[in-house]
Amino acid sequence: MTLRFLPLLLLLPGLGGCQFLFGSPSKANIKLRKETQELQGQIAQLKLQHDADAATIAGLTQRTGTVPTLEPARLEKLFTVHGIRVERLTGGADLDPAKPGHEGVKVYVGLLDQYGDEVKSAGSFVVEAFDLADPQATRLGRWEFPVEQAQQNWHSFLTRYEYVLTCPWQTPPRHADVTVRVQFTDELTSRQFTGQSVVKVEVPPTTQPATRPAQASAVPR
């Protein structure tokens, strides 16, 4: 080893040894990253609890029927729905392979408990879709799925647990970006939760926005 590297070797202990050469994370960075992940998990759990509390209050103040519900103290002991999530698989649905474009939208909805884990629960759905790029903000449809019908649309495969709701267009979209809004009413707690997402669809050719015809260029005589 040549003497010209000796000063650098003497500095390595103060700079973190091999971490200076190879950039491996220090114990302090690993601890900070772990604490950040734990805080993010706590924030997500607190948000679910807040959404559930808000849904409980809304259900108690807006309820007009006489259907009994469990007391909040008893609900806290159960695994119940605290939020919903519109899953990434949500998007345009090719309901008629003989026709170009999508004839509707297929909505994947996951239910989350107070710990952020997916949970199965009975309830009803209301799905709405909008073409917000349209100047008139066209509503493409509103679909209701009562409890009995929603149960038929429950699917589980490996680690996926979700409702899959197929919604044929009532009004075809004119643009590829479609906003989907989902409302779930829990049959057990009467809580209502909403989720929203913007998804991509293939616009049917008959509803695509009209384009201006190309202007004929002047031909010199």
Q: Which of 47-56, 111-120, 151-160 has the highest mean pLDDT?
A: 111-120
For residues 129 and 139, the answer to whether their CB atoms sit within 8 Å is yes
Q: What is the mean pLDDT of residues 195-213?
A: 79
Angstrom distance (rounded) from CA 125 to CA 192: 10
Q: Is the pLDDT of residue 60 over 50?
A: no
Please give the helix or strand (H or E) that residue 110 lies within, else none: strand 104-112
Angstrom distance (rounded) from CA 163 to CA 184: 11
Angle at 66 between CA 62 and CA 69, to 5 degrees: 80
Secondary structure of residue 207 in the 3-state scheme = helix
116 Rama sector, left if φ>0, alpha if ψ -120 to 50, beta otherwise: left
Q: What is the mean pLDDT of residues 197-220?
A: 68
pLDDT range class, residue 66, cuts 50, 70, 90: very low
Prediction pTM value: 0.64
Express as a percent the part of the chain with pLDDT over 90. 48
Q: Which pLDDT value is given to residue 95? A: 95
Angle at 99 between CA 98 and CA 101, to 5 degrees: 135
CATH 2.60.40.10 is right for the domain spanning 61-67+78-205: yes
Q: What is the mean pLDDT of residues 56-65?
A: 49
Half-sphere exposure of 210 (CA within 13 A, CB side): 2
pLDDT range class, residue 7, cuts 50, 70, 90: low
Tell me the backbone φ, ψ of residue 89, rounded to 5 degrees. Answer: -70, -10
For residues 111 and 104, the answer to whether their CB atoms sit within 8 Å is no
- Candidate from 23-27, 60-64, 106-110, 197-201 with smallest mean pLDDT: 60-64
Q: Is the pLDDT of residue 203 over 90?
A: yes
33-53, pLDDT tens digit by residue? 777 776 766 666 566 655 656
Q: Which pLDDT value is given to residue 215? A: 47
Strands 177-186 and 123-131: antiparallel
Angstrom distance (rounded) from CA 51 to CA 66: 24
Say how far residue 125 (Cα) sits from the centre of its chain.
Answer: 15
Angstrom distance (rounded) from CA 198 to CA 176: 10
Q: Which pLDDT value is given to residue 28? A: 80
Tell me the backbone φ, ψ of residue 105, rounded to 5 degrees. Answer: -130, 140
Mean pLDDT of the chain: 79
Nearest CA-CA partner of 51 in 85, 77, 90: 85
